[in-house]
Amino acid sequence: MLPQQARIEQALAKRHLAEGALVLYDLTSTYFEGRHCPLAKLGHPRDVKKGKLQVVFGLMTNAAGCPLAVEVYAGNTSDPKTVSDQVTKLRQRFGLERVVLVGDRGMITSARIRENLKPAPGIDWITALRAPAIKKLASGGVLQLSLFDSRDLAEITHPDFPGERLIACFNPLLAEERSRKRPDCWLPRKKSWRRLP
């Protein structure tokens, strides 16, 4: 099937993607038993098999989860390094001018946004901010819990993200879970620690 992969993926994209579509992209890895695969390398194990050679798989689907394309990378390939390949695939192989790429915050980093997504007009993205960026928004007063009084979603803007729409989502179930776990994790760091009145 490998010689037919590009043709099959183009046919799937033609059938299941259209201009302006959401494209979901994620990676996984699997450890490798053997010594003859040139892609098998030590990398960040997702399946808790430390010290084993592995390969990384990138899967692209449409919004409904229908697989469109798969890419196999060396086991030491970091998630962000695969984004430019996907932009190229969407543009050159699938001939799409406008799509929205959805990926996690470990993949769609600020460097990938700056170097691969912003320079590609028509390629938009949806991802999550990392904890330090969220903390900065909250401590700066931009992100306030009162935004969620009437809805669980709020749109905010910030100069650190020019031209980007930031959508904040409040998950009451997750908040309850974290508040329940937080006291269990609150341990004194010094023997002189004491509770304030």
- Summarize pLDDT for 149-184 with one digit per residue, the tens: 666 777 878 888 888 888 877 777 777 887 777 665
The pairing of beta strand 54-62 with beta strand 21-31? antiparallel
Could you tell me which CATH number the domain at 1-128 has?
A: 3.30.420
Low-confidence winner among 45-54, 115-124, 144-153 (lowest mean pLDDT)? 144-153
- Give the helix ranges, DSSP H, for 40-171: 83-88, 110-112, 131-139
Predicted TM-score (pTM) of this structure = 0.77
Higher pLDDT, 173 or 72: 72
Report the distance separating Cα 168 and Cα 129, nearest Å. Answer: 10
Task: Return the pLDDT at 193.
Answer: 46
pLDDT tens readout for residues 10-38: 999 999 999 999 999 999 998 888 778 88
Strand 123-126's sheet: what is its strand order? 67-74, 54-62, 21-31, 99-102, 123-126
DSSP class of residue 38?
T
- How many helices (H) and strands (E) the chain has is answered by 5, 7
| pLDDT range class, residue 42, cuts 50, 70, 90 | confident
| pLDDT range class, residue 191, cuts 50, 70, 90 | very low
Listed by start position, the domains of the chain span 1-128, 129-192
